[in-house]
Amino acid sequence: MSQNKLELLIVEDDEGLQKQLKWTFDDYNVILTDSHTKTIEEIRRFEPKVVTLDLGLPPDPANASVGLALLEEILLLAPATKVIVVTGNDQRDIALKAVELGAYDFYQKPIQAEELSLIVKRAFDLANLEEDNRNLFKRQTDSFHGIIASSPEMLGVCQKIEKVAPTDVSVMLLGDSGTGKELLARAIHEISPRNNNKSVAINCAAIPENLLESELFGYEPGAFTGANKLTIGKVESANGGTLFLDEIGDMPMQLQAKMLRFLQERQVERIGGREQIEVDVRIVAATHQPLSELVEQGKFREDLFYRLSEVSLTIPSLKERNGDVVLIARSMLEKFNRQYSRNFRGFTSEAVHAMEAYEWPGNVRELENKVKAAVVMSESNQIGAEELQLEQNQLREMPLNLRQVREVSESKAIQRAIVLSNGNISKASKLLGVTRPTLYSLMDKYGIQH
């Protein structure tokens, strides 16, 4: 067999059709089988990406349930395989049942070579695309500490983290709740020279104000009622490593002053103690709040803000990460399949479209919760849109027509250029890289005034 041809497994017991199909698919390494046992053997041996399956197989060609049972076994053995079910003209209901069980598509006899070839080609294209996606997020997971991303927006953040991690500068991670700030903070520590020491995290919003200081700086015996023993604080326990201050925007003003003093002097004083203790830590902070606005409102110290944000990185929301939502969802599905001993074979096309159109106000954390719930509750072979329980009022219109996408992008770019050039068409045309007549023509096309 040629090493350059893809394997196509054809399950057919009619010798005449076998010859016709082998001739039709001369561009592939065609593997022919005519029985349940032989089919499973060849699936194990060749791991074909695409299979055509005649549901009428011996010992009972008239009973399509034999073929359906084989379909289920193929998909159980090789979930990523695209199975095209071939049926008779009077078996449409059975064909739809096969698709419900996880078949990629169905085709009704008599066989028309061009039509079936097109279906097979599309199946190979999809199988190759899915394989590329799986390899992509596996590479991302292996190379960047569990962060799954293919979008330029998130890959740009990962590249910046790779640059800043080996240094000792303080990093501020800004972004909505659920965007993965804690995961990125962990990545900064793991890439840094401090990775052999501890990474200690504390959520400033989750601890009552009267306890936060003792959690951060520790206390001596007798410092307050109930302080019976020496307790090391989070700052001190992170000595030599990294301290992650999550939700730093919720830190009380009084405590901000003590944190600033620590950052300036790199010394801590436990509550009730008098000794100044030298501490060497790298600070990574995060918040979903607009810190610059809090500074203007007098709710966050400006000097502390600059100390904590020597490098500031903004994490894009999930809806801004073009294409990432489906990659992440598939990775989560694999994880929850293993965790709950399930065998879901991906998401339906409706579910994929819904995920891409959804606003994801809770970001990656919300996506994880939705996928987990669907894995636990769903009874079908694939996760559908209904199982994800996405709010309809959060679904955006997602045009796939390239002309529509191009027109929307062009219109936005023109409006932005006009704003940036303060209405000067000559300057706007230079920004856009077009001539003035072309810009006027486009403005007229999109009804843009200046």
223 and 201 together in one domain: yes
Return the SS3 of 221. coil
127 and 160 together in one domain: no
**Do residues 35 and 66 make contact, with C-beta atoms less than 8 angstroms apart?**
no
Concatenated DSSP letters of 383-400: B-HHHHT--GGGBPP---
pLDDT of residue 354: 87
Of residues 331 and 412, which shows the higher confidence score? Answer: 331
The residue out of 370, 394, 418 marking a domain boundary is 394
359 and 418 together in one domain: no
pLDDT tens-digit readout, 184-195:
999 999 999 999
- Residue 145 located in a structural domain: no
Average pLDDT score, the chain? 87
**Cβ contacts of 142 within 8 Å, gap of 6 or more:** none
pLDDT of residue 141: 46
Q: Which two tokens stand for residue 413?
A: 């770019």
Residue 183's pLDDT band (cuts 50, 70, 90): very high
pLDDT of residue 418: 79
Of residues 149 and 340, which shows the higher confidence score? Answer: 340
The residue out of 76, 111, 137 marking a domain boundary is 137
Return the SS3 of 219. strand
pLDDT of residue 393: 63
- Residue 142 located in a structural domain: no
Residue 450: pLDDT above 50? yes
The single residue listed with the structure tokens 């067999």 is 1
- Residue 308 located in a structural domain: yes
**Cβ contacts of 251 within 8 Å, gap of 6 or more:** 204, 212, 245, 259, 300
Residue 156's pLDDT band (cuts 50, 70, 90): confident
Range of the domain at 369: 319-394
Of residues 305 and 14, which shows the higher confidence score? Answer: 305
264 and 180 together in one domain: yes
CA distance 255 to 93: 69
295 and 212 together in one domain: yes
Q: State the helix-helix crossing angle for 436-446 and 402-420, rounded to 10 degrees.
A: 120
- Residue 78 located in a structural domain: yes
- What amino acid occupies position 51? V
Reported in sequence order, the residue ranges of 62-216 that DSSP labels E, i.e. its strands, are 82-87, 105-108, 171-174, 199-203
According to the per-residue pLDDT averaged within each range, which of 131-145, 332-346, 427-441 is highest?
332-346
- Residue 283 located in a structural domain: yes
**Helix, strand, coil shares of the chain as percentages rounded to 5?**
50, 15, 35
268 and 374 together in one domain: no
CATH number of 74's domain? 3.40.50.2300
The residue out of 314, 343, 376 marking a domain boundary is 314
**Do residues 288 and 175 make contact, with C-beta atoms less than 8 angstroms apart?**
yes
Residue 395's pLDDT band (cuts 50, 70, 90): low
Q: Which two tokens stand for residue 187?
A: 């990545």
**Do residues 73 and 81 make contact, with C-beta atoms less than 8 angstroms apart?**
no
Return the SS3 of 5. coil
Distances (CA, A) of 5 to 23, 45, 81, 342, 429: 14, 16, 17, 34, 50
- Residue 281 located in a structural domain: yes
CA distance 442 to 117: 42
**Which strands sit side by side in the sheet containing 282-287, from one edge to the other?**
199-203, 242-246, 282-287, 171-174, 311-314
320: DSSP letter: G
176 and 214 together in one domain: yes
CATH number of 239's domain? 3.40.50.300
Return the SS3 of 141. helix
225: DSSP letter: T
pLDDT of residue 294: 95
pLDDT of residue 137: 52
Residue 142's pLDDT band (cuts 50, 70, 90): very low
CATH number of 342's domain? 1.10.8.60
- Residue 156 located in a structural domain: yes
How many domains in the chain? 4
**Cβ contacts of 115 within 8 Å, gap of 6 or more:** 107
pLDDT of residue 209: 87
Return the SS3 of 94. helix
278 forms beta bridges with 267
pLDDT tens-digit readout, 230-270:
999 999 999 999 999 999 999 999 999 999 999 999 999 99
Q: Which of 152, 149, 213, 140 is nearest to 180 (CA)?
A: 149
166 and 300 together in one domain: yes
Instruction: Give φ, ψ of 85 to 5 degrees.
Output: -85, 130
176 and 305 together in one domain: yes
331 and 260 together in one domain: no
Segment 316-324 mean pLDDT = 88
pLDDT of residue 439: 85
pLDDT tens-digit readout, 196-222:
999 999 999 999 988 999 999 999 998
Q: Which of 434, 429, 348 is nearest to 388 (CA)?
A: 348
- Residue 193 located in a structural domain: yes
Residue 401's pLDDT band (cuts 50, 70, 90): low
212 and 249 together in one domain: yes
CA distance 336 to 325: 16
pLDDT of residue 419: 66
**How crowded is the C-beta side of 273, counted as CA atoms within 13 Å?**
20
Residue 98: pLDDT above 70? yes
60 and 204 together in one domain: no
Report percent pLDDT > 90 for the chain: 50
